């Protein structure tokens, strides 16, 4: 049975996939889907309750919350995808280096990674943001760096295991250069685990971006980021609860979607990973 038919039988994973597609479509078609300009202010309608004109209500500056939630999906997906790329690229580089070179390099890197993995994730991201500064790009980098240690460990483990297989030994005995061995024999074997990890990572990346933006240390106003919207809504929580709570729902749906798809992919692609992530 191939991976897709195994994935398809998992109903929750399919729900997740549909949600991911909805997110992707709303990010891609935001200008056409959003009923209003997300930055358009209408101060006389500030904190408008959800109704006919503003389906999800209006925020502190009278901006349409639905439009901002739709545009916010761009930030969430962009940070999610790019930080996952950073994590995977960095982890591949460091993991293959540690796995192939071995020796003291491997030992030093693994100790360092153990320290990083032991460290509370938000504190690490906060330290990186404190150093880099705020903004969408720096948030992406901070979230991406946070993912590097875990990917490094996955890649290193696979490289160590694959290095001992007979076909890799045969390829090297035949004189294949290291890069060719990596590309032809090692990488294809790691890809399934990396896809699974990257999907689950995106769920956490979206959560982390939202958390950093909520603290005021991530994406900066006036960009429509969900975490930032919850943060501005917090100031008027007691008079207009919808301003803060509605964007939070969007975060939850997006995170849930990637978690469901990731779980489904893990069961379909790489059953050995079950329970480890």
Partner 1 sequence: MLTFVVRRLLLAVPVLLGVVFVVMLTIDLLPGDAVTLMLGEHATKDAVAKLRDHLGLDKPFVVRYLEYVARVAGGDLGRSIQQNRPVAAELADAWPATLELTVAALLIATVAGIAAGVASAVWPNSFFDALARLGSLFGLSMPIFWTGLVLIVIFSLWLNWLPVGGAGSLNHLVLPAVTLALPSVAMISRMTRSAVLDVLREDYVRTARAKGVGEFWVLGRHALRNAFIPILTLLGLQSGQLMGGAVLTETVFAWPGLGRLMVKAIFARDYVLLQGAVLVFALAFVIVNLLVDLSYGLLDPRIGRQG
Q: Which is nearer to partner 1, 162 or 200 (CB)?
A: 200
Q: Which is nearer to partner 1, 182 or 207 (CB)?
A: 207
Using the rule CB under 8 A, is 121 a contact of partner 1? yes
In the complex, the smallest distance separating the C-beta of residue 55 from partner 1, rounded to whole angstroms, is 20
Among the listed ranges 26-34, 37-45, 82-90, 113-121, the one in contact with partner 1 (CB under 8 A) is: 113-121
DSSP-assigned letters across all residues of 10-63: -HHHHHHHHHHHHHHHHHHTHHHH-SS-TT---GGGTTPPSSSSSTT-B-TTS-
Using the rule CB under 8 A, is 132 a contact of partner 1? yes
Q: Which of 79, 186, 210, 219 binds partner 1 (CB under 8 A)?
A: 210
Q: Which of 198, 207, 224, 265 binds partner 1 (CB under 8 A)?
A: 207
Q: Look up tokens 């056409």; give the residue.
A: 32
Using the rule CB under 8 A, is 167 a contact of partner 1? no
Q: How crowded is residue 47: how many other Cβ atoms within 10 Å of its Cβ?
A: 16
Three-class secondary structure of residue 160 per DSSP? helix
Using the rule CB under 8 A, is 202 a contact of partner 1? no
Using the rule CB under 8 A, is 271 a contact of partner 1? no
Using the rule CB under 8 A, is 260 a contact of partner 1? yes
Spatial distance between the Cα atoms of 60 and 235, rounded to a whole number of angstroms: 9
- Over its C-alpha atoms, the chain yields an Rg (Å, rounded) of 22
Using the rule CB under 8 A, is 184 a contact of partner 1? no
Using the rule CB under 8 A, is 15 a contact of partner 1? no
With 0-12 / 13-18 / 19 or more C-beta atoms within 10 angstroms meaning exposed / middle / buried, residue 256 is middle
Using the rule CB under 8 A, is 48 a contact of partner 1? no
In the complex, the smallest distance separating the C-beta of residue 31 from partner 1, rounded to whole angstroms, is 26
Q: How far is CA 20 from CA 49, 88, 116, 191, 199, in A?
A: 28, 20, 30, 21, 11
Three-class secondary structure of residue 121 per DSSP? helix
Using the rule CB under 8 A, is 77 a contact of partner 1? no
Among the listed ranges 68-76, 164-172, 189-197, 235-243, the one in contact with partner 1 (CB under 8 A) is: 235-243
With 0-12 / 13-18 / 19 or more C-beta atoms within 10 angstroms meaning exposed / middle / buried, residue 174 is exposed
Using the rule CB under 8 A, is 215 a contact of partner 1? yes
Spatial distance between the Cα atoms of 40 and 44, rounded to a whole number of angstroms: 12
In the complex, the smallest distance separating the C-beta of residue 53 from partner 1, rounded to whole angstroms, is 23
Using the rule CB under 8 A, is 94 a contact of partner 1? no
Using the rule CB under 8 A, is 128 a contact of partner 1? yes
Using the rule CB under 8 A, is 177 a contact of partner 1? no
In the complex, the smallest distance separating the C-beta of residue 141 from partner 1, rounded to whole angstroms, is 11
Query: Are 144 and 134 spatial neighbours (Cβ–Cβ below 8 Å)?
Result: no
Q: Which of 18, 21, 29, 130 binds partner 1 (CB under 8 A)?
A: 130
């Amino acid at each position: 049975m191939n991976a897709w038919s195994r994935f398809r039988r998992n109903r929750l994973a399919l729900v997740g996939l549909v949600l991911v597609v909805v997110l992707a479509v709303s990010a891609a078609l935001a200008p056409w889907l959003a009923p209003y300009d997300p930055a358009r202010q209408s101060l006389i309608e500030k904190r408008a309750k959800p109704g006919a004109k503003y389906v999800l209500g209006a925020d502190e500056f009278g901006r349409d919350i639905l439009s901002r939630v739709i545009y916010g999906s761009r930030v969430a997906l962009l940070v999610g995808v790019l930080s996952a790329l950073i994590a995977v690229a960095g982890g591949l580089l460091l993991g293959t280096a540690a796995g192939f070179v071995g020796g003291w390099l491997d030992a030093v890197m693994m100790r360092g990674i153990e320290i990083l993995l032991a460290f509370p994730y938000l504190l690490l991201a906060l330290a990186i943001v404190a150093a880099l500064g705020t903004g969408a790009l720096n948030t992406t980098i901070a979230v991406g760096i946070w993912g590097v240690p875990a990917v490094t460990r996955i890649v290193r483990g696979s490289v160590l295991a694959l290095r001992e297989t007979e076909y890799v030994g045969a390829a090297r005995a035949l004189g294949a250069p290291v890069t060719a061995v990596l590309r032809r024999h090692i990488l294809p074997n790691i890809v399934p685990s990396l896809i699974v990890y990257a999907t689950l990572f995106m769920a956490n990346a979206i959560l982390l971006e939202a958390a950093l933006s909520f603290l005021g240390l991530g994406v900066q106003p006036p960009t429509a980021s969900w975490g930032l919207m919850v943060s501005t809504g917090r100031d008027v929580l007691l008079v207009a609860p919808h301003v803060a709570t509605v964007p939070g729902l969007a975060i939850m749906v997006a995170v849930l979607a990637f978690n469901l798809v990731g779980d489904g992919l893990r069961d379909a692609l790489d059953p050995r990973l079950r329970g480890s992530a």
